[in-house]
């Protein structure tokens, strides 16, 4: 992909509301600077290879690399839409599929131990933006919720599906649930104290997962990610966004594998965090390694395009950016 095609992709993302004006300006500036370095300098004779000329050669490749990176956005958008849309269509699950509809009294129903709960858009309404989803941890097997929009609740053995259209959803999740899946078109997803395996995905909204205690996959397009891991967390975290920032708060003394990358942004690691990270990406920052000392089976993977990645300890104040190591795109 050449620079002109890259610019078209950026402007299309801006038009679609996937990135902000500031994000578009950052990407266009980076692409323009890279294009300027593409043309070889005029002059007679063979240029002697020096440290500076090596850097110049590397910088000359920034334009094409940015364009190539942007060329992946279209497929990524289609994949994300397809992923959220994979549970949509024009008919709800039926008795023929083994599902039965539940009519919860006062928004309360029982979820047996080891169940999975999926919160999805109503079928046939993929293009309609939903409201916010708020989920907090509860106990036992009783699940309670309130919704200001339309919904239908379905069950097949230990599989529960709550399909919603419009409005806000507030839900208390019992600890009998082993897996939570939330997919939304627009609107923020917020969770607190969830310890089960979770998958949170939204288009055009942000995700905020506080006191997360289990494995988590969080993906959004056109929104930011804020994640706070609970004390003693030991699992897998994958957080990805396009057109937003990633803010991760980790408990003191955490030990985990770590990978973070960004395009047209910075990676900031809190000074108090003991880390052993290596830069393996150019011109886009990509750091891999470990956080903390000792062996651990846990892992953290963070990725954003047109945004910053910030990692800090839970006790650090969000405004204390002066105590962060900043790794900015070169």
Q: How far apart are CA 161 and CA 99, in angstroms?
A: 9
- Res 278: pLDDT: 87
In this prediction, residue 11 carries a pLDDT of 77
What digits encode the pLDDT tens for the residues 152-188? 999 999 999 999 988 999 999 999 999 999 999 888 9
Residue 65: C-alpha distances to residues 3, 30, 57, 61, 158 (Å) = 10, 10, 13, 6, 47
Residue stretches of the chain with pLDDT short of 70: 1-3, 5-6, 13-20, 23, 30-31, 33-96, 123-130, 281-283, 294-295, 315-330
State the pLDDT at residue 290: 92
Q: Which helix (H) or strand (E) holds 116?
A: strand 115-121
Q: Domains of the chain: which residue ranges?
A: 3-37+50-71, 131-139+169-328
Give the contacts of 164 (CB within 8 A, at least 6 positions apart).
Answer: 119, 120, 121, 122, 130, 147, 149, 150, 151
Identify the pLDDT of residue 285. Answer: 77
Q: What is the distance between the alpha carbons of residues 43 and 40, in angstroms, rounded to a whole number?
A: 9
Output the pLDDT for position 46: 43
Q: Determine the Cα–Cα distance for residues 161 and 137; give it in Å rounded to an integer.
A: 18
How many angstroms separate the first and last alpha carbons of the chain? Answer: 21
Evaluate whether 90 touches 124 at the Cβ level (below 8 Å). Answer: yes
DSSP secondary structure letters along 254-302 = --EEEEEEEESSEEEEETTS-EEEEE--SSS-EEEEEESSS--S-EEEE
Q: Classify the phi-psi angles of 174: left when phi > 0, otherwise alpha if psi is within -120 to 50, otherwise beta.
A: beta
Tell whether omega for the bond before 148 is within 30 degrees of 0, i.e. cis.
no
pLDDT confidence of residue 329:
41
Q: What is the pLDDT of residues 73-131, one digit of tens each?
A: 445 544 554 555 555 433 456 655 889 999 999 999 999 999 999 999 886 544 456 68
312 touches 266 (CB < 8 A):
no
Looking at residue 281, what is its pLDDT?
A: 64
CA distance 299 to 291: 10
């Amino acid at each position: 992909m050449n620079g002109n095609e890259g610019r078209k992709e950026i402007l299309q993302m801006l038009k679609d509301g996937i990135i902000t004006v500031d994000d578009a300006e950052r990407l266009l500036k980076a692409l323009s600077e890279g294009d300027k370095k593409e043309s070889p300098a005029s002059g007679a004779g063979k240029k002697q290879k020096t440290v500076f000329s090596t850097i110049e050669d590397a910088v000359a490749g920034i334009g094409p690399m940015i364009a190539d990176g942007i060329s992946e956005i279209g497929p990524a958008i289609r994949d994300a839409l397809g992923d959220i849309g994979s549970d949509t269509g024009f008919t709800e699950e039926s008795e023929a599929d083994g599902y039965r509809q539940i009519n919860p009294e006062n928004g309360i129903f029982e979820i047996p131990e080891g169940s999975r709960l999926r919160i999805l858009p109503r079928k046939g309404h993929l293009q309609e933006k939903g409201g916010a989803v708020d989920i907090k941890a509860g106990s036992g097997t009783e699940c309670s919720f309130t919704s200001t929009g339309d919904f239908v609740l379905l069950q097949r053995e230990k599989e529960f599906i709550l399909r919603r259209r419009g409005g806000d959803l507030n839900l208390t999740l019992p600890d009998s649930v082993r897996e939570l899946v939330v997919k939304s078109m627009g609107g923020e997803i917020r969770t607190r104290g969830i310890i089960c395996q979770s998958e949170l995905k939204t288009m055009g909204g942000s995700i905020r997962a506080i006191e997360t205690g289990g494995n988590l996959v969080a993906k959004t397009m056109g929104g930011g990610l804020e994640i706070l891991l609970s004390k003693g967390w030991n699992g897998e975290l994958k957080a990805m966004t396009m057109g937003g920032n990633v803010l991760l708060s980790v408990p003191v003394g955490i030990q985990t594998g770590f990978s973070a990358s960004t395009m047209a942004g910075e990676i900031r690691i809190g000074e108090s965090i003991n880390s052993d990270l290596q830069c393996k990406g150019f011109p886009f920052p990509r750091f891999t390694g470990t956080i903390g000392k000792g062996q651990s089976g846990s892992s953290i993977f963070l990725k954003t395009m047109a945004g910053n990645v910030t990692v800090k300890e839970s006790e650090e104040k969000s405004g204390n950016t002066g105590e962060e190591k900043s790794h900015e795109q070169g």
